[in-house]
Structure 1
């Protein structure tokens, strides 16, 4: 369990003070895959560094697995950090060392025998799918392979928590999916708590079970991923979700080709995702809808759907919207 209580982080900058994290409290359950999403400057990377005290907060408390990290001595903190692995956007591998030696580095001085270390390293390299590269050097690897090495290195001390700070930002889309699938596999197989910092809601959608959205140093929305995606409350969260679902792109394309007609967006979840909504509208109100775009996807086994439609008449649309809202379906006019 990670507990951040009323965290504030301030930095002096050019004669004034910048508040990077502004009274944030957050709890991450054991075994969770927790995403923290926000644009650059939102404070998310600063917040994740507070979790292992790479960044000491100006005020607040940091409790990890029942231990108050701020109260520890430097020596005790170094020992506690062995339970918290971390991977970064730019890998931070040592170019002059082999892949094997990069993964071995955190185990120096651990008291583990060379035989045990070799067994552990080879097991980790096999887990991340790169054992055959153990004698290679970082410059001989692709970006995705380097990140796999970084993940193996972060797991070398057998941590209970893995912090990922923009771990896929430097990767192409195909490699990003592969690395995210690897993180999900690690979470499933090893039960490690994983916290993912990202500016892409698509990353959260792929593997996280919980998400917190940050803006200007504060958490503005949080909850289970399926609940946030099905009913986002804040404009920033709505924008992130629309981008992740490619809804904004679909709307732009449709509006370019549909002239003189109003386009409406319907969003629905749960059992309603498999029901004939438009047939119900026709039976109740006599309105026919033309589907311009439709998509259903599953998050945490919960179906979420989006449709872009036009209606053959504007009569009774107010009643239609009210009826849909009663059934938990949102309807909004797409603004040109």
Structure 2
């Protein structure tokens, strides 16, 4: 569906070159809800603008449905862009026009009759759940309602791809969830491929089936969401996931209240009497201080934070415990303690 091959984007600022995207290659398949996550300045927004050539790459190929967007004429590019809808963080609605007029705006010059346009606008507003607001103006709507209008407008030309650039960043958590549910519904009902740019792994966790993590213009890790959440490799990915699953907050609080070594157990499918089996096999008592289960694509992934003590007062054989847990598809790691000097450094 979308194939980005060796994409780089370089800007010249004050006689020096700044590389915003650095040799990125990604494959986004039809029907994906693909998340691209990274902190501000990672290059993710520049990369998503390359897909519809709002930003022309310095090098590389942008293949969308078999066509190299970079090589298209201006006229052909305009036609291909109609197949790619886009929504933004700040909605970009026309304040002097009604909600219906905002949604109808992309249909000017489409050849549809006024009656057909009206019917299509009402159908789209019904899809996003705000048909009753068609005669209102943007200033009369909440942030979530405005984003629903923006989504309806982005769908006006029946796109095959929807690009979402920080589309939920200006919304409160409850409204964010409702917009994400709507995007998931759009994906399922209309079969539209969605690319979501975000700095919040929580957004990725809610609806994406695949994710790429960006840092300093490069993709440092990518894959299906379950694999990335279950076994993140890059330190930045690990930080994102610990924050999204609230494990980081639990670790900080527990480290402040105990001097005992703390261990994290991560296990897919959240099944099996692991704690009881540790006691039976190694005479190890595990005191559970925190537990959490995340459901990703309907697959449960469990996390426990525990202390481990030998029941007979002996020394823990952590290597043997780790090997045994690995056979059960459970991973164990000790939480590192950061000293005050290290934090200052």
Residue 262 (structure 2) pairs with residue 267 (structure 1): no
Determine the structure 2 residue equivalent to 1:285.
282
Determine the structure 1 residue equivalent to 2:320.
319
SS in 1 for 2:284: coil
Q: Distance in 2 between matches of 1:177 and 1:253?
A: 27
Determine the structure 1 residue equivalent to 2:92.
92
Query: How many Å apart are 1:300 and its aligned residue?
Result: 1.5
Determine the structure 2 residue equivalent to 1:233.
233
Query: How many Å apart are 1:256 and its aligned residue?
Result: 2.2
Q: Distance in 1 between matches of 2:316 and 2:75?
A: 72
Q: Distance in 1 between matches of 2:18 and 2:326?
A: 42
Residue 10 (structure 2) pairs with residue 13 (structure 1): no
Deviations 1:97-140 (A, max 9, x none): 11111001100111111111111100000100111111111111
Q: Distance in 2 between matches of 1:282 and 1:144?
A: 50
Q: Distance in 1 between matches of 2:40 and 2:327?
A: 38
Determine the structure 2 residue equivalent to 1:26.
26
Residue 114 (structure 2) pairs with residue 114 (structure 1): yes
Query: How many Å apart are 1:157 and its aligned residue?
Result: 0.4
Determine the structure 2 residue equivalent to 1:301.
298
Query: How many Å apart are 1:328 and its aligned residue?
Result: 2.5
Query: How many Å apart are 1:301 and its aligned residue?
Result: 2.4
Structure 1, unpaired ranges of 5+: none
Q: Distance in 1 between matches of 2:90 and 2:19?
A: 26
**Deviation >3 Å, runs of 4+:** none
SS in 1 for 2:223: strand
Whether the aligned pair in 1 keeps the contact of 2:309 and 2:316 (CA below 8 Å) is no
Q: Distance in 2 between matches of 1:27 and 1:117?
A: 35
Determine the structure 1 residue equivalent to 2:334.
333
Query: How many Å apart are 1:69 and its aligned residue?
Result: 1.0
Q: Distance in 2 between matches of 1:326 and 1:235?
A: 25
RMSD: 0.9
Q: Answer with 92-101 or 307-316: which moved more.
A: 307-316
Q: Distance in 2 between matches of 1:251 and 1:234?
A: 19
Structure 2, unpaired ranges of 5+: 338-345
Q: Distance in 2 between matches of 1:312 and 1:214?
A: 40
Whether the aligned pair in 1 keeps the contact of 2:208 and 2:225 (CA below 8 Å) is yes
Aligned residues: 333
Q: Distance in 1 between matches of 2:240 and 2:280?
A: 35
Query: How many Å apart are 1:319 and its aligned residue?
Result: 1.7
Query: How many Å apart are 1:326 and its aligned residue?
Result: 3.4
TM-score, L = length of structure 1: 0.97
